[in-house]
Structure 1
Amino acid sequence: MTDQSTFPDPTYRDTVLAPLFEGVKAHYAAHMGAINRAHLVMLVETGILSASDGAALARALTEIDAEVEIPKLTYTGEHEDYFFLVEAELRARLGDLGGALHTARSRNDMDHTLFKLALRSRGAETQALVLALAEALIAKAEAERDTLIVAYTHGQPAQPTTFGHYLSAAAEVLLRDAARLDAALEGLEHCPMGAAAITTSGFAIDRHRVAELLGFDGPLRNSYGCIASVDYVTGLYSALKLVFLHLGRVVQDMAFWSSFEVGQLYVPNALVQVSSIMPQKRNPVPIEHMRHLASVTCGRCDMVVNTMHNTPFTDMNDSEGEVQQAGYAAFESGNRVLRLLAAMVPQCGIRADRVQANADAACVTITELADTLVREEGLTFRRAHEVAAATAKSVIAQAAPLSDGFEAFSAAFTAQEGRAPGLDAAGYGAAVSAKSFVARRDRFGGPAPTVLDAAFAAYRAEYCELRDVLESRQARWRAADTARDGAFAQVLEG
């Protein structure tokens, strides 16, 4: 059979190669230029290319950067991809020498280096936003350290705590998520360049030098793993997903707390939309947008990770162009959540009247009455619990606040214990006070002010450590850009 067809098939061109080319234009062009320059510097410094050949290639690369308007390029099929377009431009200017730049490298190691460069910049931006939100949560927690709220379990009023205590819990989870994201970002800090197709090269290349010029911490050791390992992808998107899975739960609380029936969270007018038909309604729709964007981000992360499932441990397109490009949308939607939540948290407040009403209606301090009976009346907790339960049942039936329930308490205690309680009205009032409830919870991790102050200091230390790591990485990248420009300039001079 004689095959008269030529590459690329028009349908393959339109359905695969053209979209990939557009993705390269949008995301990879700057990184491709950095890789070309770093690789050329290394080839000249190691003597694999002569100084004169290196200078000619450097001039041609500079001309291409200046003359080729990447955003205006349209895929024609003349060149298989952006990599071959650049090589064709080099050969048009330099003849056969134009192909020398590809000495000791492959699209394989270049692709994964491009992906890592693209992911690390996106990951750093997101990590900075995560840390900004963490700082906003900590600052708001400090400001609301003593602000009472009703805490809910199973959707029901449970116990009093403070807004600062609640926000501290959210900040603590976010800091753990930031640490997981930091570890995943560290997985991007080793360079695949020099792995070539999969086994390195017979040329005396300097992988460490290329890694240094591109701002990596060093080369990724195993050359097979440089091409076959996708844990830098799966690890990053898994860590990214957890940020928004966990934040989505906090956002859901904001929706519940700001509902008319609960009403303990006040969302300011700047973040509220009015119904187009019902003028009495205050709709805090930014909360809904954060909730669905967090879920969309989780889904996008799952898409990337699940695409890697049951793929071969080798070079494959499943971990490359289209998947990588699609995954970037997770950073876009996630960053919107982080920015909006960081803007919203400082502006929200707690409605003390609604907290008090809900606390009264649900007897949320009743546990402390039982605890007080154990400490001061010598009852076992179960017997104390039964007295407290009878007291709560009585005041709820009367639609009275627990603070007005001393007579009901005294009657329940006497009926069960056969004696009058030693606890007087003042003692009872202190036992069922929400402020006293919180103040007594001064164990490690509790909501009492001194305990929270210690927690704030710990959170700020964690925040500063993670911020310093991120800033150190970014400083290394900037230094590498400067060093690469300088080394390239030397090659250009011959």
Structure 2
Amino acid sequence: RVGAAGKRLHTARSRNDQVALDVRLYLRRECNSVYSLVTELIGVLCKKAEKYADAVMPGYTHMQRAQPITFGHHLLAYAEMLLRDRERIADAQRRMNYCPLGSCALAGTTYNTDREMTAETLGFTGPMLNSLDGVSDRDFCMELASALSILMVHLSRFSEEIILWCSWEFKFVELDDAFSTGSSIMPQKKNPDITELIRGKTGRVFGDLMTLLTMMKGLPLAYNKDMQEDKEAIFDAFDTVKICLTTFIPMLDTMTALPENMRKAAAGGFINATDCADYLVGKGLPFRDAYKATGEIVALCIKKGLTLETLPLEEYKKICDLFDDGVYDAINLDKCVNGRTSLGGPAPQNVPIR
């Protein structure tokens, strides 16, 4: 027992500033945990992207095959999203890292306390400069919940794609048995449960954000009991994000890509039509005319049950006499992808650069 000294611990302290302090200390640690997990996930994505830098697949718009890309390029799109997520979390953590201790109930104290020393000892950038704001600010909870919600949007979008890719309609990837389940009645089923759960839990994190925004929107200064609800919402948001990341990382790491199926899908859908038009542009035809001529060729292919690669040259020439044998090289899928060397493009050599 400390005795009289212990009775002095509450001098120049209030539950209001102590709770505000404790929440910041806890969330600062949680930010570090999520930051590390996101960094680990980015590492797995980059490793996979390099492995499949030249695995040609269809790129989609409106859920329809659009242009040829590579699986590595597709994966790096999510790495870019996660890099922004990591930056948002770090940025919110920097703004949060100011110490409310010494604000007391709302109006500071008459005791000669050294708030600068307290803030430095606890690892903060400095003390909060307004005692009312010190005890009533929960911006950091809302900002972090917003950053976590955006992170969950990205995990949910990726999960949705993996769910599609696992289906027999696509069959671009195969999940390890540890991250999928069977059916109680259909023996052929292999369900991507982890990704479905992550997609569902995204709504839960959104709900945590809405709880915080709604709780704070009508509160006068300074502290109000409504603010007790902050902890359940922001703690749940962090717990949910961490469990989603913790399962997503090994699931992605053990996921097997099926490049032959991706290539087969890329061979259909006329995703090299833009390259066909660009070939005509290279021959001196204005792009709008090249676009129109290529559209007519695609329509002819559909009518005859052919692809751009199998349509005879004489049929090309009936629509535009600028075509020659070089068109078949121009619409080759590997050439289509390898030629897109512009910064940010899907050419395989761009993957190691990023």
TM-score, normalisation: structure 2? 0.93
* Cα RMSD (Å): 1.9
Distance in 2 separating the partners of 1:441 and 1:334: 36
Equivalent position of 1:159 in the other structure: 67
**Separation (CA, whole Å) in 2 of partners of 1:317 and 1:179:** 32
CA contact (8 A) 1:445 1:452 kept: no
Q: Percent identity over the alignment? A: 32
Match of 2:284? Answer: 378
Q: Which residue of 2 aligns with 1:187?
A: 95
1:386 Cα offset (Å): 2.2
Worse-matched range after superposition: 106-115 or 287-296: 287-296
Contact 2:156 2:202 in 1 (8 A): yes
Question: Corresponding residue for 2:144?
Answer: 236
- Matched residue, 2:332: 433
Match of 1:448 in 2: 347
Measured in 1, the distance between the counterparts of 2:234 and 2:260 equals: 45
Report the Cα offset of residue 422 of structure 1.
4.5
Return closer, same or farther for 1:394/1:141 CA change in 2, 3 Å cut-off: same
> Which of 378, 387, 395 in structure 1 is aligned with 2:301?
395
Compared CA separation, residues 301 and 258, structure 1 to 2 (3 A): same
Structure 1 gaps, min length 5: 1-58, 61-92, 456-494
Aligned partner of 2:324 among 417, 423, 428: 423
Compute the displacement of 1:180 (Å): 0.7
In the alignment, which of 201, 208, 220 is matched to residue 312 of structure 1? Answer: 220
Question: Per-residue CA shift, 1:258-314, capped at 9, x if unaligned?
Answer: 222122233233333222222222222222112112232222232223321222232
Shift, 1:429, TM fit: 2.1
Partner of 1:147: 55
* d(CA) in 2 for partners of 1:394, 1:270: 47
Which has the greater radius of gyration? Answer: 1
Q: Deviations over 1:417-441 (max 9, x none)?
A: 4xx33521xx222222111111111
Match of 2:274 among 367, 372, 383: 367
Determine helix, strand or coil for the equivalent of 1:281. Answer: coil
SS in 2 for 1:151: strand
Contact 1:108 1:227 survives alignment (8 Å) = yes
Normalised to the residue count of structure 1, the TM-score between the two structures is 0.68
**TM superposition shift of 1:412:** 4.1
Q: Quick check: 1:333 aligned with 2:240? A: yes
Q: For this pair of structures, how many residues does the alignment match?
A: 354
The amino acid of 2:280's aligned partner reads: L
Which one-letter code corresponds to 1:430 in the other structure? Answer: D
**What pairs with 1:37-436 in structure 2 (closer than 5 Å)?**
60=2, 93-94=3-4, 98-319=6-227, 321-375=228-282, 377-407=283-313, 410-415=314-319, 417=320, 420-424=321-325, 427-436=326-335
